[in-house]
Structure 1
Amino acid sequence: MSSHAFADRLRSNSLRRRLRDPELRAVLWLGPLTIVLTVLAAAQTGWLQVVPVAVLTVPLLLGGVLLGPRTLSWFVVFVMVMIVVAASRLTLSDRDAVAIGVHFMLGFILLFVGERRTDLGVGGLSNEVMLRDLTRKLDQGAIPPMPPGWLADSAVLPAGGTQFAGDLVVAVRVEDRLEVVVVDVSGKGVRAGTRALQLSGAFGGLLGALPPSEFLPAANRYLIRQDWQEGFATAVYLSIDLTDGAYEIRSAGHPPALLRRAATGRWEEAESNGPVLGLIDDVEFDACEGVLGVGDMVMLYTDGVVEARGVDLEHGIGNLVATADHLAVTGRGGGARRLLEGLSASSDDRALVAVGRR
């Protein structure tokens, strides 16, 4: 391939990549739309006289939603020029002059909001897509595919229908071992959600890379190093051998895991104690060990599942196991979410994982 052909190919690939940019595509139709509306607003004949200059508010607002701050600043100037062009063709009343002044104020407000969004790292449509992908990652907490004879399901429900949750589920499967951690980060809303996102990546790197006894101590040291204000978290960790059902459960200031024995049909609490993560260095976490038999199930959850105003912890756990008995987690997906939705409404984030043997 000649150097000229190679350069042409590079330019062609670069152009295709740029045309896939959602912000550039928005500019390509917002610009012509603004020009068309300016022509209509400036017209002085026939029915076009009824088109007001205020119609240019439409591209102005669309630009504020779709464009990043740098592009938006140029687009606002462009729209303002178009408003001046349209107004110069009209005989303006005092009311029209005030309306145009309001348009200019709106443009400055959009610029200010755009700069604020940049400071938060969410300016423009492309960054909002990135943010949506990040929040989707937090929500997943997906359990890896299970081998025959096992079922598992998980769900995370943010409080108040927001996109961010301070509860998270991280799970990995390394050969015949499944490791799951359910974490409740201090705080609520966006602040807790951003911390949860950071912990999701960090804990995902630790799971499967350390012996089960070392995971929570390593997670604890990680939180202490972050030096967050009110930067603590509770967690419950499960490691289970998928060949024989042998499990270890360790807790860090978290509500107890629940075990259901097929032989009795009753739920029992897994006795495992340890301090919350992020407060005290060099601590140990006791393990609850056992074997899951056919028909047995273990359930991990956050305090938002069992705690509510006016309801103590034991009563909340009772409500959870009663709901779990009437709505078995099927392993086909969705059972854990339906279980959470079947409980009383909570003002806190909620997360739940169920792993069972068939």
Structure 2
Amino acid sequence: MLVATDVSVLARKAPASLTRRLGGTVPAAGPRRDRVVFVVLALIALAFVLLIMGWPTRVPVVTLAPLVLLSGLYLPHRHLVGLYILIGIGVAATIPRLSGTAMAETLMVSAMFALMAMMVIVASSRVRVGSTGFHGENLFVELRDRIARSARLPGLPDGWTAESAVRSANGEGFSGDFMVAELTHNGRHLEVALVDVSGKGKEAGTRSLLLSGALGALLGSLTPGAFLCEANRYLVRQGWEEGFATAVHVDINLDTGDFTVGNAGHPAPVRFSYGTGTWEILEGGRGPVLGIMQGVSFARTEGTLGMGDALMIYSDGIIESRGHDLTEGTDRMLGAASEAMIRRGDSVADAVVSQARSGEADDRAVFVIVRG
């Protein structure tokens, strides 16, 4: 038994956030903390302004730059603007006492005001998520980690090998493609759903998180035939402007090798026959994409995996690219998969993802399960 999961879209982007590296020493956010930090930083700013006015040749205006940066990271927007107004008044008051050429003084002061303007813009972007400091970074880290956990494959019984790989467009930390998998029926069945939500990278990150949680909860809670119907109802209820998604759902009986596949606007799964050494495209069981309309149904394709047979599902980034025919992309994918199957020691998922027709321009995901 072998289970391999490549979530390199996230794993390669897995450095801990700064708050984590600091070991939780950053104080907890709150109104009281904000007021205390504001007062402390205002007093420090006043002290620096007095030093600059008293010793302009030894304490230049740029000494305030670290304070401007620190306050921009940890103060909420309202307090930040107030502090910068105070600093601006102080900087303006020091101008007559500055030494050096008029050009140098102008550049130095202008740079300080430009830095404050930039930090105000950065702080404004954090207002949308209600975070200060590095908490916004933590939100993205948690989002990324949860999607990664949902892509991990469960342990399978002897006689089965499964692997998956998910890669994001242009190496970003988030992917519009995700996968959820679960052992059901007391471990006798494996259910896998591979989903491609609209958008790429961070644009699709939030939708991927919501859908991965919802669809992961549906696995095993419904009959295979009802899974895509309920997933469609959930997506329609969200009312997202770009809330559509394609998906393929596989239910495999690990005792007999029987499987069923449901398809919601997704590229057709393929089945490898060990006896003939060829791949068969499973065109049946195709339905509309998820999230467009209520009341649609999804037919399912049935089949059986014998010893040495394999079943593979994948996202459109594997076979699609601008200026190329889908048939060419499919042939390219099946050729890479066949070579890896023949060599037996190679990862089929890695081989398929690495030769993807779209290259780094699109999100790519693949799941392969082999019997025997």
With the shorter chain as reference, the TM-score category is 0.7 to 0.9
Helix, strand or coil: the match of 2:170? helix
**Alignment partner of 2:292 out of 265, 279, 283:** 279
Closer, same or farther in 2 for the Cα pair 1:22/1:299, shift >3 Å? farther
Could you tell me how far apart the structure 2 residues matched to 1:142 and 1:329 are? 25
**Alignment partner of 1:61 out of 69, 77, 81:** 69
Mapped contact 2:340–2:346 kept (Cα < 8 A):
no
Could you tell me how far apart the structure 2 residues matched to 1:184 and 1:225 are? 18
Deviation of residue 122 (structure 1)? 5.5
Could you tell me how far apart the structure 2 residues matched to 1:76 and 1:333 are? 59
**Alignment partner of 2:323 out of 302, 310, 314:** 310
Query: How many residues of Structure 1 are paired with residues of Structure 2 in the alignment?
Result: 336
Could you tell me how far apart the structure 2 residues matched to 1:263 and 1:97 are? 79
TM-score, length basis structure 1: 0.79
Could you tell me how far apart the structure 1 residues matched to 2:123 and 2:360 are? 34
Could you tell me how far apart the structure 2 residues matched to 1:93 and 1:238 are? 73
**Alignment partner of 1:188 out of 200, 214, 230:** 200
Unaligned runs of 5+ in 1: 1-16
Letter of the 1:323 counterpart: A
Helix, strand or coil: the match of 1:163? coil
Mapped contact 2:337–2:351 kept (Cα < 8 A):
no
Mapped contact 2:161–2:371 kept (Cα < 8 A):
yes
Mapped contact 1:159–1:348 kept (Cα < 8 A):
yes
Mapped contact 1:307–1:316 kept (Cα < 8 A):
yes
Deviation of residue 346 (structure 1)? 4.7
Instruction: Write out per-residue CA displacement over residues 210-253 of structure 1, whole angstroms, 9 at most, x where no aligned residue.
Output: 01010001011111112222422111100112222221111011
Closer, same or farther in 2 for the Cα pair 1:151/1:100, shift >3 Å? same
Instruction: Write out per-residue CA displacement over residues 141-171 of structure 1, whole angstroms, 9 at most, x where no aligned residue.
Output: 2212222222212222121222232211111
**Alignment partner of 1:255 out of 267, 291, 294:** 267
Could you tell me how far apart the structure 1 residues matched to 2:62 and 2:96 are? 14
Within the alignment, does 1:323 sit opposite 2:336 as a pair?
A: yes
Percent identity of paired positions between Structure 1 and Structure 2: 36
Aligned-residue CA RMSD in angstroms? 3.7
Within the alignment, does 1:163 sit opposite 2:173 as a pair?
A: yes
TM-score, length basis structure 2: 0.76
Unaligned runs of 5+ in 2: 1-22
Could you tell me how far apart the structure 1 residues matched to 2:82 and 2:354 are? 47
Closer, same or farther in 2 for the Cα pair 1:356/1:43, shift >3 Å? farther
Closer, same or farther in 2 for the Cα pair 1:103/1:314, shift >3 Å? same
Could you tell me how far apart the structure 2 residues matched to 1:228 and 1:100 are? 46
Deviation of residue 280 (structure 1)? 3.0
Helix, strand or coil: the match of 1:340? helix
Could you tell me how far apart the structure 2 residues matched to 1:238 and 1:67 are? 49
Mapped contact 2:244–2:290 kept (Cα < 8 A):
yes
